[in-house]
Amino acid sequence: MSDAEVKPAVHEWFGGAVRVLFVHAHPDDETITTGGTLAALAEAGLEPLLVTLTRGEQGEVVPGPLEAMAAAHGLAVVRQNELKNALAMLGLERHVFLGVPPARAADLEPTIYEDSGMSWLPDGRAGASENASADSLTTVPAVESLTDLLAVANDSGAGAIVSYDDGGGYGHPDHVHAHCIARAVAMALQLPFWEIVSGDVADIGADTNADTVADTAVEAHDISPWYERKQAALRTHTTQLSVDGDDIVHVGGQRHPIGRVERFRRVDDPLR
């Protein structure tokens, strides 16, 4: 597919916004849920910016030789390298970790927000972990991460902000926190906020023509032209998942298809 064929449709995504800011909790989240969209926006010259909130220190590791590597070097270091390689596969050049300039409030020393961890609840969703450190994203006063995200959103000239829904997709505390601060920043800067549609609605096939699903307006991105890039990026996150054909297999054994359609819902706050 040529640039002439790709760019017109992609330029209409997110209401035609340029420099869309994506807020993700851990390395690999960006590719699993928004990898094709990021690749498309980058290829179209729309300069998407990814802010990753933590380095995924609390993630489990796929059993095997990678466990020794993560133990020797530290999982945070390994996952940072995996993310770097994934972004290269997606063609994404603009990325920063929260707490590091330009994603740090003025006059504050750089900081690291650590992964808060999670535990599985009886209903199958994720909940808080008892092992969250004093430096974890959800333990540090929320005003700090909020101010950092506000700084980078304002300075980067973001035209819209994308993050998880208010349940964090599957409940992980860091995902819920990402939603809260991303939505608050969007409201403060009067920017459109788009939540990632996950679950059964997101898995509806690419041949769906309806603009609404379950009575809710949803913008569907057919990322088929960038599917191979997304698949290649997923393969770089080797400590967290494996790619089996067209499926993702997570460290816990959960399996689901690699999405060829990525869906987003615009959420308008009452004060906007």
145-169 burial by CB neighbour count: b if 16+ within 10 A, else e?
Answer: bbbbbbbbbeebebbbbbbbbebbb
Phi then psi for 5, rounded to 5 degrees?
-80, -35
* Predicted structure pTM score: 0.90
Structure tokens at 223: 């990322």
Q: Give the chain's mean pLDDT.
A: 89
- CA dist 248 and 32 (Å) reads 9
**Which candidate, 269, 216, 271, 224, places its Cα nearest to that of 37?**
224
Average pLDDT over residues 166-177: 94
Give me the residue spans of the domains in the chain: 3-267
Task: Confirm if 83 and 98 have CB atoms less than 8 A apart.
Answer: no
DSSP, collapsed to helix, strand or coil, labels residue 72 as helix
The model's confidence at residue 272, banded by pLDDT at 50, 70 and 90, is low
- CA dist 236 and 269 (Å) reads 37
- At residue 69, the pLDDT reads 80
- At residue 92, the pLDDT reads 98
H helices of the chain, in order, are: 3-10, 29-43, 65-73, 75-90, 142-155, 173-188, 227-236
- At residue 199, the pLDDT reads 63
State pLDDT tens for residues 177-219.
999 999 999 999 999 999 999 864 444 443 333 343 443 579 9
Angle between helices 29-43 and 75-90 (to 10 degrees): 30
Structure tokens at 200: 């059964």
State pLDDT tens for residues 36-58.
999 999 999 999 999 999 999 99
- Pairwise pLDDT comparison (252 vs 14), residue with the higher score: 14
105 pLDDT more than 50:
yes
**Which residues on neighbouring strands pair with residue 199, listed in sequence order?**
none
State pLDDT tens for residues 139-158.
999 999 999 999 999 999 99
Average pLDDT over residues 122-145: 90
- CA dist 206 and 135 (Å) reads 41
- At residue 271, the pLDDT reads 57
- CA dist 154 and 71 (Å) reads 38
- At residue 207, the pLDDT reads 39
- At residue 188, the pLDDT reads 97
Average pLDDT over residues 101-123: 92
- At residue 161, the pLDDT reads 98
Average pLDDT over residues 22-30: 98
CATH code of the domain made up of 3-267: 3.40.50.10320
Asked if the bond preceding 102 is cis, omega within 30° of 0, the reply is yes
Q: Decide the pairing of beta strands 20-24 and 49-52.
A: parallel
- CA dist 212 and 146 (Å) reads 32
- At residue 8, the pLDDT reads 46
